[in-house]
């Protein structure tokens, strides 16, 4: 749920950055009959063409619970993406007449009215999944998101969804604890990494084998240079309390305005930068089950910001190839161009990866983590759903 803007503007931003993006936009401006499918196929020749990645982070619907048809998404995936996670967004932006009058907000920055948990999203995702053929279903890993992580009853919702829709879900998430501008807008108690309600959820995820995609910003927006990220200690403590849960920390803790930890030259000897913070987690035996997704164009922008950042990130992926998953984090994409734009942004990093690391980040780790979760959740269902 890392999205502030409608997908259209995200894709357009990413597209504008590349020469081919310019060409594409020019083609549309001239109304040339260029198929977007053909166009996107031409845009990624740097990686093996067929079956390029599995998408570990994909939202079918947006903040007002609208999205694209699953058949349209299958059309976008085509032969380039064999498998994908499948989830909506658990939060609904209220249309408050008192706040915005006749203007109907479609995302959370367009209104001061609160967001609230929209649990029906899970029934919707299950119904979409069940409308598919078995071969099509095999390509998706649906995720439960419609629970309140600040509610001690939140875990009961997850259990109930598994009982009512057995055979469907692989995991939970993406759900958010700390997320810039969003956390404070959610109705009810503000979520926290120290809330026992969250511990109950992660305990159950470990018991049932559910894969977990957790969004929690490592830091406050616009944090100062040379400061320890405010939520890092709590996050590591949470992860250590749940060593048996299969947790993917979304976006490596970053966001649009939650930038990588920055260290000045003077402080460089005592303060770790973001790559060093992540590396310390990767080598920590008490965090050995934690994985990281590098989804979201807002994360890609940091990775490809300079030749130095590209080299640093590529070196980290090459050194710890088993711990990172690519995902698009697109939200109800309008078409192939905006969907694949996020993947294409990573090309400078992927081109510096070993064949082994490239395969694992794009597909291998997805397969390992989500296949294991599928098997374990089906086993839990067999034992617990009558
Ligand atoms: Zn997301």
pLDDT in tens, 127-175: 999 999 999 999 999 999 999 999 999 999 999 999 999 999 999 999 9
pLDDT, residue 263, reads: 57
| CA 330 to ligand 1 centroid distance, Å | 7
pLDDT, residue 222, reads: 62
| CA 132 to ligand 1 centroid distance, Å | 23
pLDDT, residue 181, reads: 77
pLDDT, residue 266, reads: 61
pLDDT, residue 59, reads: 97
Q: Give tens-digit pLDDT for 336-378.
A: 999 999 999 999 999 999 999 999 999 999 999 999 999 999 9
Least confident of 245-249, 252-256, 293-297: 252-256
What are the backbone angles phi and psi of residue 55, rounded to the nearest 5°? -95, 105
For residues 203 and 303, the model is more confident at 203
At residue 288 the predicted structure's pLDDT band, cuts being 50, 70 and 90, is very high
Convert 272-300 to b/e letters by CB count within 10 Å (16 or more is b). Answer: bebbebbbebbeeeebeebbbbbbbbbbb
pLDDT, residue 28, reads: 32
Judge contact between 329 and 295, C-beta under 8 A: yes
pLDDT, residue 90, reads: 95
Which residue matches tokens 């590529």?
314
| CA 283 to ligand 1 centroid distance, Å | 26
| CA 87 to ligand 1 centroid distance, Å | 9
Judge contact between 290 and 249, C-beta under 8 A: yes
| pLDDT more than 90, % of the chain | 67
At residue 179 the predicted structure's pLDDT band, cuts being 50, 70 and 90, is confident
Tokens representing 3 are: 């999205």
Q: Which of 30-44, 302-316, 355-369 has the highest mean pLDDT?
A: 355-369
| CA 32 to ligand 1 centroid distance, Å | 33
Q: State mean pLDDT over 250-274.
A: 68
Work out whether strand 58-59 and strand 140-144 pair parallel, antiparallel, or are unpaired.
unpaired
| pLDDT more than 70, % of the chain | 80
Judge contact between 172 and 143, C-beta under 8 A: yes
What residues sit around ligand 1, an ion, with C-beta below 5 angstroms? 1-2, 174, 329
| CA 63 to ligand 1 centroid distance, Å | 11
| CA 179 to ligand 1 centroid distance, Å | 11
| CA 248 to ligand 1 centroid distance, Å | 12
For residues 374 and 227, the model is more confident at 374
> How far is residue 75 CA from its own chain's centroid?
21
pLDDT, residue 229, reads: 77
| CA 367 to ligand 1 centroid distance, Å | 19
pLDDT, residue 62, reads: 93
Q: State mean pLDDT over 105-121.
A: 93
CB neighbours (10 Å) of residue 141? 28
| CA 25 to ligand 1 centroid distance, Å | 26
Q: Give the pTM.
A: 0.85
Q: State mean pLDDT over 109-128.
A: 95
**Sign of CA pseudo-dihedral 327, 332, 335, 341:** negative
| CA 384 to ligand 1 centroid distance, Å | 30
pLDDT, residue 107, reads: 86
Least confident of 13-22, 153-162, 207-216: 13-22
Tell me: pLDDT of 268 over 70. no
| CA 61 to ligand 1 centroid distance, Å | 11
Q: Peptide bond before 213: cis, by omega within 30 degrees of 0?
A: no
Judge contact between 185 and 115, C-beta under 8 A: yes
| CA 80 to ligand 1 centroid distance, Å | 21
| CA 58 to ligand 1 centroid distance, Å | 7
| CA 2 to ligand 1 centroid distance, Å | 4
Judge contact between 310 and 352, C-beta under 8 A: yes
Tell me: pLDDT of 226 over 80. no
As a whole number, the mean pLDDT across the chain is 85
Q: State mean pLDDT over 193-198.
A: 97
| CA 289 to ligand 1 centroid distance, Å | 21
For residues 25 and 240, the model is more confident at 240
What are the backbone angles phi and psi of residue 72, rounded to the nearest 5°? -65, -40
Tell me: pLDDT of 27 over 60. no
| CA 177 to ligand 1 centroid distance, Å | 13
pLDDT, residue 8, reads: 36
| CA 213 to ligand 1 centroid distance, Å | 9
Least confident of 3-12, 147-156, 272-281, 291-300: 3-12
| CA 267 to ligand 1 centroid distance, Å | 33
Tell me: pLDDT of 23 over 50. no
């Amino acid at each position: 749920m890392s999205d502030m803007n409608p997908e259209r503007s995200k894709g357009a931003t990413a597209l504008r950055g590349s020469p081919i993006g310019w060409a594409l936009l020019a083609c549309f401006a001239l109304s040339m009959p260029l198929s977007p499918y053909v166009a996107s196929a031409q845009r990624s020749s740097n990686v093996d063409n067929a079956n390029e990645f599995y998408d570990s982070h994909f939202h079918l619907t947006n903040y007002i619970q609208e999205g694209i048809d699953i058949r349209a998404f299958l059309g976008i995936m085509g032969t380039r993406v064999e498998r994908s996670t499948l989830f909506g967004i658990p939060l609904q932006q209220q249309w408050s007449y008192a706040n915005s009058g006749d203007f109907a907000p479609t995302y959370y920055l367009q209104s001061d009215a609160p967001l609230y948990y929209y649990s029906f999203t899970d029934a919707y995702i299950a119904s979409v999944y069940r409308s598919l053929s078995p071969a099509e279903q095999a390509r998706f890993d649906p995720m439960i998101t419609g629970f309140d992580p600040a509610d001690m009853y939140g875990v009961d919702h997850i259990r109930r969804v598994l009982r009512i829709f057995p055979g469907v879900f692989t995991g939970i998430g993406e759900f958010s604890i700390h997320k810039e501008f969003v956390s404070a807008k959610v109705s009810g108690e503000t979520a926290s990494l120290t809330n026992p309600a969250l511990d109950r959820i992660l305990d159950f995820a470990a018991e049932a084998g559910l894969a977990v995609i957790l969004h929690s910003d490592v830091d406050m927006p616009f944090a100062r240079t040379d400061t320890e990220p405010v939520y890092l200690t709590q996050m590591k403590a949470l992860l250590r309390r749940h060593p048996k849960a299969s947790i993917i920390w979304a976006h490596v803790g970053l966001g649009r305005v939650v930038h990588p930890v920055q260290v000045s030259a003077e402080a460089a000897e005592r303060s770790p930068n973001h790559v060093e913070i992540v590396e310390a987690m990767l080598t920590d035996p008490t965090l050995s089950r934690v994985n990281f997704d590098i989804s979201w164009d807002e994360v890609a922008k940091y990775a490809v910001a300079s030749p130095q950042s590209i080299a640093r990130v590529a070196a980290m992926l090459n050194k710890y190839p088993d711990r990172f998953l690519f995902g698009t984090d697109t939200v109800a994409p309008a078409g192939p161009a905006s969907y694949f734009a996020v993947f294409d942004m990573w090309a400078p990093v992927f081109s510096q990866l070993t064949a082994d690391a490239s395969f694992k980040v794009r597909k291998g780790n997805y397969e390992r983590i989500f296949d294991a979760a599928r098997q374990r959740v089906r086993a839990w269902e067999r034992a617990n759903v009558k």
